[in-house]
Amino acid sequence: MIVDKIENLAQYRGISGNFAKAADFALSHNLEEMEAGRYPIDGDQVFVMIQEIETKAEREIPWETHGNYADIQCVLRGAEGMGYANRSSLQPAGEYDPERDIRLYTGAGVVHILHAGEFMAFFPQDGHRPSICPPGCDRQVKKAVFKVRVDW
């Protein structure tokens, strides 16, 4: 798991070629001006989803992991809580869904509050819980979620 400012994404290009593609796209496009939707960067290897969401109470959101993709979740407007826990500390709440590349969990972890201009990157071993409404914040958030295929 990584937490940092979007402007620093280039520092993480060395993680993988696909991570570099996502970082390059994020830093060369005005993500906040993009319409909601899915945008290919390198086919199914790297793509970004621009989302306008309404955050929810933490108790309403299950933990999740992905087997084939890392997520780079960038907050563009508003503030969003994102939970983190290592997958090994969570309890499975269902089977892995290969079509959606997701497995849900229950358990406990920590919540980081991200503001516009910040990101968290989650890898397959990282349980995460996005879209949490932080105390006192507007529920409306615009974000970019980069899906980066992992090859390790």
In order of their start, the domains of the chain are 2-149 (2.60.120.370)
Distance CA 130, CA 82 (A): 4
Distance CA 72, CA 16 (A): 13
Distance CA 70, CA 150 (A): 6
Residue matched to tokens 């933490």: 58
For residue 53, the model assigns a pLDDT of 97
For residue 138, the model assigns a pLDDT of 75
Q: Which residues of the chain have pLDDT under 50?
A: none
pTM: 0.95
For residue 134, the model assigns a pLDDT of 86
Encoded tokens for 10: 């280039």
Per-residue pLDDT reduced to its tens digit, 23-45 = 999 999 999 999 999 999 999 99
